[in-house]
Amino acid sequence: MKLDDLKQGTQAIIARITGGRGILVQMASLGLYEGKKIRVVQSAPFSGPILVEDVITGARTMIGRKIASHVEIFSDEA
């Protein structure tokens, strides 16, 4: 399952980030990496961005759908 498939309020753990070095660097700069537990706070309609929150620290960040499609997750609520 990919991050852009999750519904608002769902918690998940980042399993793997696919794509090139640029995507890995960008995600790391946002504090998002494999093993991180996150929650989808808001998912904008259509092709809008996704607001995710680090469950541990409460830090929030917006991620575009294209980048979110490279993030494979394990859903806590599946």
User: Can you give the pLDDT of all 78 residues of the chain as single tens digits?
Assistant: 999 999 999 999 999 999 899 999 999 999 999 999 999 999 998 889 999 999 999 999 999 999 999 999 997 664
pLDDT for the residue numbered 77: 61
The number of folded domains in the chain is 1
Asked whether the CA dihedral 33, 72, 41, 35 is positive or negative, the reply is negative
List all residues 6 or more positions away from 20 whose beta carbon is below 8 Å from its beta carbon: none
| Residue 71 structural domain | 3-75
pLDDT for the residue numbered 76: 67
pLDDT for the residue numbered 19: 87
What CATH number corresponds to the domain at position 48?
Answer: 2.30.30.90
Q: Are the C-beta atoms of 12 and 38 separated by less than 8 Å?
A: yes
pLDDT for the residue numbered 61: 95
pLDDT for the residue numbered 47: 86
